[in-house]
Structure 1
Amino acid sequence: MSVLLRLASALGRNDEVPNQELAAQLAGSGDAAAVAELAAGAMRGPKPIRHDAIKVLYEIGDRRPELIAPHRDGFVALLQERDNRMIWGALCALDTLARTEPDFIATHLAAILDAADRSSVIAMDRTMSMLAKLAARPGTGRFAWERMMAALRTSAVNQTPMYAEFALAAATANNPAELAEVVRHRLDGIGQPAKRARLEKVLRKLEKL
Structure 2
Amino acid sequence: MIKDRLASVLGRRDEEPNIQLAQEIVQNNDKSAIEELLHLIQGKQKDLQNDSIKVLYEIGETSPQLISAYWNDFMEALSCKNNRLQWGAMTALKTISLLEPDHIVNNLIKLENAAEQGSVITRDNYVAILTNLLSLSRYQELAFNAVIKQLLQCPTNQLAMYAELVSPKITSAYSKKFIETLSGRLDEIEKDSKRKRVEKVIKKKS
Q: Sort the TM-score into its range (normalised by shorter chain).
A: over 0.9
Q: Which amino acid aligns with 2:135?
A: A
Higher deviation after alignment, 87-96 or 195-204:
195-204
Q: Does 1:114 align with 2:113?
A: yes
Q: Which amino acid aligns with 2:193?
A: A
TM-score w.r.t. structure 1 length?
A: 0.91
Query: What's 1:84 paired with?
Result: 83
| Mapped partners of 1:131, 1:201: distance in 2 | 22
Aligned length, in residue pairs: 206
Deviation per CA, 1:62-97, whole angstroms, max 9, x where unpaired?
111001112111111112212222111111110111
Query: What's 2:145 paired with?
Result: 146
What does residue range 15-54 of structure 1 map to in structure 2 within 5 Å?
Answer: 15-44=14-43, 46-54=45-53
Deviation per CA, 1:33-86, whole angstroms, max 9, x where unpaired?
212211111122521111100011011101110011121111111122122221
- 8 A Cα contact 1:176 1:206, kept in partner: yes
Q: Residues 173, 97 of structure 1: CA spacing in aligned structure 2 closer, same or farther, 3 A cutoff?
A: farther
Deviation per CA, 1:157-192, whole angstroms, max 9, x where unpaired?
210011112321331175011111122222233242
| Mapped partners of 1:3, 1:45: distance in 2 | 17
Pairwise CA RMSD:
1.7
SS of equivalent residue, structure 1 residue 15: coil
Runs of 4+ in 1 over 3 A off after TM superposition: none
- 8 A Cα contact 1:180 1:206, kept in partner: yes
| Mapped partners of 1:186, 1:155: distance in 2 | 10
User: 1:108: Cα distance to partner?
Assistant: 1.3
Query: What's 1:177 paired with?
Result: 176
- 8 A Cα contact 2:46 2:82, kept in partner: no
TM-score w.r.t. structure 2 length?
A: 0.92
Query: What's 2:54 paired with?
Result: 55
Q: Which amino acid aligns with 2:101?
A: P
Higher deviation after alignment, 165-174 or 102-111:
165-174
User: 1:114: Cα distance to partner?
Assistant: 1.5
| Mapped partners of 2:189, 2:46: distance in 1 | 40
Q: Which amino acid aligns with 2:84?
A: R
- Structure 1 unaligned segments of length 5 or more: list them: none
| Mapped partners of 1:15, 1:161: distance in 2 | 30
Query: What's 1:96 paired with?
Result: 95
- 8 A Cα contact 1:75 1:90, kept in partner: yes
